[in-house]
Amino acid sequence: MLKAKMNPRVFWGASLIIGLLLLLALLAPGASDRVFQAAQAWVIDTFGWFYIAAVAGFLGLVLILAVGPTGALKLGRDDAEPDFPYISWLAMLFAAGMGIGLMYFGVAEPIQHFINPPAEQGGTFSAAREAMGITFFHYGVHAWAIYGLVGLSLAFFAYRKNLPLTLRSGLSPLLGKRVNGPLGDAVDIFAIWGTAFGIATSLGFGVSQMNSGLSYLLGIPNTVWVQVGLIAVVMAAATLSVLSGVGKGVRRLSELNLTLAVLLMIFVLAVGPTGFLFKALVQNFGFYLDHFFERSFLMYAYEPRAWMADWTLFYWAWWIAWSPFVGMFIARISRGRTVREFILNVLLVPAGFTFLWMTVFGNTAISLDMGAAAGAISQAVTADLSTALFHFLEQLPGAAITSTLAIMLVAVFFVTSADSGALVIDTIASGGADETPKWQRLYWCLLLGLVAALLLLAGGLGALQAATLVAALPFTVIMILISVGLVRQMNADLSGRTLETEAPPLSEQLKRIFSPASRKEIDRQLARAGVPALESVRDGLRDEGLAAEAVADEGGASLTVDVTEGRAFHYRLSALRRPRPALSALDAPEGRRTMEWRLSARSDDAGRARDVTGFTRDQLVEDVLDHLQRWRRG
């Protein structure tokens, strides 16, 4: 019998909703498309102002949290160190966040705005300037503020407050124990819904681009059955990753993919109008900043136009729908970062890379379209978005090589997205469990591919995309509640903080980094520093007339202080065995990493164990007294 590790209400509830919506899209694709499209149009028309205000508010909030006192808080224990190297962390941000979007829309979106801008005449230099400003706005810090807020809440409550790595944990300051009931289940089901349909829709978009590339290179027919076959190949690779557990191989493939994407960008920069592109990058950024606040609140209230619903409001709803996936993924790789480091890197680094990418591909495409291509790229975009990149590369040297590289990039981005998407959904459905049976992750991986393939065959991809955007409305409300809970908990942490115990000497910290402690060394520290420290505090308390007991046992040592009104304070030191920090976000699962030993301290005033490896006797005494004082303040 298969072993399971799940929250049954969320796992099967989300599966049932996905199945019902998929069945509706299959049995009545035309009718379901009309219903969901009408619902999407109504939501955007009625609540467009709410999306604009909410996203601007999310950006303002994360900036305040970054620059204020909360920025110094750690996503984990106060002495926690980042799990993953900085470069690997950034590589996963790109791959999980915007990788596929950059490949698909790097040429297509700037050209679309160039052809049909909201406030300029299409095909002009003014339209080109506005096209890049709009593209920067849609892919800039607003999108990453949405991702960052969800990721910050997940990481903060999971790693600092020791709660499950699920969306519902962010509501615990507001709902208390009720977060484990139906309300919490509904939040997690919404998150799975948005993630599953968002990934399935993107798979559909991406295979159409791959099919267009293969048709351009090899003459393979551009048909829905070919696209279904491509989905099968991509999901087979993702399934192999799930079953084989070759984390290091997939990690290297992901980082190689990012490297190849950068090389493709450098190639376009080198063979394109290089000098013009550097000038355009500076001017595009200036235009973006100049119109930043105006566009952040722009609704065209006095001059209504459909462009707003088709573009900005659509994007804001789409980013919100995607936020559980990207937020969960960046949370999983961000333990040990400070709030300030997390927010500033998540906001600025991917957005900065995106600005460079969009300038290189978008401005080059516009320049070619106005010159040598004589409108050919615009015509390709108008006819079929998925062919835009390949018609663009056709205008540059080595088109066959670069088009082949582009197809490979899209394919590997899909493999990593599908694999990580299945991981994220399984984490939510299992109640935040770190390790789950392989069949559960395999289940979600296969379900994602099945949904995308069946919808392609039935022509219902647009209906599910619309359904995802409709689901973004209640999730926006959830994000607001998560924001309130996050601010409340961070302020509570700050108000309850006292001066931290002095850190171990530099030599001891370096030893912990490069030469992790063995069990014998931890036992030696317990005998020489831990037990004497607890006995010293016990003796001092007895001198003050308080009943206290210090006991050493095989696993560590404990101090118990009895006070009036039936209350007692407990402090325990124990040897803790844990996996060595991973080298990358896709390194081997915890259960298969090399293990190391730590001396941990746990007390009644804190819900989470603290690492006190290397602390001297006096430092441990200070730590006991510090937490006893916090407990007394209550």
Span 580-626, pLDDT tens digits:
544 333 344 444 445 678 888 888 776 667 788 878 888 888 888 88
pLDDT confidence bin for 277, thresholds 50/70/90: very high
Which runs of consecutive H residues, i.e. helices, occur in 68-181?
Answer: 86-97, 99-115, 125-139, 141-155, 172-175
Question: What pLDDT is stored for residue 3 in this prediction?
Answer: 63
Cβ burial 373-392 (10 Å sphere, 16+ → b, else e)? beeebbebbeeebbbbbbbb
The residue-averaged pLDDT of 508-524 equals 67
| Strands ordered across the beta sheet of 610-611 | 547-553, 556-562, 568-579, 595-603, 610-611
Span 443-452, pLDDT tens digits:
888 888 888 8
- In the predicted structure, residue 112 carries a pLDDT above the cut 50: yes
pLDDT confidence bin for 511, thresholds 50/70/90: low
Question: What pLDDT is stored for residue 590 in this prediction?
Answer: 42
CA distance to 225, 348, 483, 613, per residue, from 471 (Å)? 29, 28, 19, 47
Question: What pLDDT is stored for residue 138 in this prediction?
Answer: 93
Go through the chain and tell me how many residues it has: 634
The residue-averaged pLDDT of 560-585 equals 70
CA gap 618, 227 in Å, rounded: 67
When mean pLDDT is compared over 135-149, 326-340, 531-545, the highest value belongs to 135-149
For helices 339-358 and 125-139, the axis angle rounded to 10 degrees is: 150
When mean pLDDT is compared over 43-47, 230-234, 279-283, 623-627, the highest value belongs to 279-283
pLDDT confidence bin for 500, thresholds 50/70/90: very low
CA gap 606, 77 in Å, rounded: 11
Nearest to 358 by CA among 108, 123, 97, 87: 108
Mean of the per-residue pLDDT values of the chain: 82
Contacts with 21 (C-beta within 8 Å, 6 or more apart), sequence order: 197, 464, 467
- In the predicted structure, residue 457 carries a pLDDT above the cut 70: yes
CA gap 168, 478 in Å, rounded: 9
For helices 29-67 and 141-155, the axis angle rounded to 10 degrees is: 80
Question: What pLDDT is stored for residue 43 in this prediction?
Answer: 86
pLDDT confidence bin for 464, thresholds 50/70/90: low
- Looking at the chain, the whole-number percentage of residues with pLDDT higher than 70 is 86
Hey, where are the domains in the chain? 8-489, 506-633
Question: What pLDDT is stored for residue 94 in this prediction?
Answer: 64
Question: What pLDDT is stored for residue 566 in this prediction?
Answer: 59
Cβ burial 131-144 (10 Å sphere, 16+ → b, else e)? bbbbbbbbbbbbbb
More confident residue, 275 or 438: 275
Q: For the domain with range 8-489, which CATH number is right: 3.40.1350, 1.20.1270, 1.20.58, 1.20.1740?
A: 1.20.1740
Span 576-589, pLDDT tens digits:
876 554 433 334 44
Question: What pLDDT is stored for residue 344 in this prediction?
Answer: 92
- In the predicted structure, residue 5 carries a pLDDT above the cut 80: no
CA gap 301, 256 in Å, rounded: 46
Least confident of 177-186, 303-312, 367-376, 577-586: 577-586
CA gap 159, 496 in Å, rounded: 18
Least confident of 27-36, 143-152, 512-521: 512-521
Question: What pLDDT is stored for residue 545 in this prediction?
Answer: 79
Q: Alpha-carbon dihedral of residues 201, 206, 208, 212, nearest 10 degrees?
A: 170
- In the predicted structure, residue 105 carries a pLDDT above the cut 70: yes
Cβ burial 229-252 (10 Å sphere, 16+ → b, else e)? ebbeebbebbbebbeeeebeebbe
When mean pLDDT is compared over 449-458, 529-538, 554-563, 587-596, the highest value belongs to 529-538
Question: What pLDDT is stored for residue 98 in this prediction?
Answer: 55
Least confident of 194-203, 267-276, 485-494, 530-539: 194-203
The residue-averaged pLDDT of 182-192 equals 87
CA gap 552, 557 in Å, rounded: 4
Span 341-400, pLDDT tens digits:
999 989 988 888 899 999 999 999 999 999 888 888 999 888 887 788 888 998 999 888
CA distance to 308, 318, 480, 593, per residue, from 48 (Å)? 9, 13, 16, 48
- In the predicted structure, residue 629 carries a pLDDT above the cut 50: yes
Question: What pLDDT is stored for residue 24 in this prediction?
Answer: 78
pTM above 0.85, yes or no: no
Least confident of 83-97, 205-219, 439-453: 83-97
Hey, what are 16's tokens? Answer: 């049932």
Using the 8-state DSSP alphabet, how is residue 74 labeled?
A: B
pLDDT confidence bin for 249, thresholds 50/70/90: very low
CA gap 614, 522 in Å, rounded: 9
* Amino acid in position 337: R
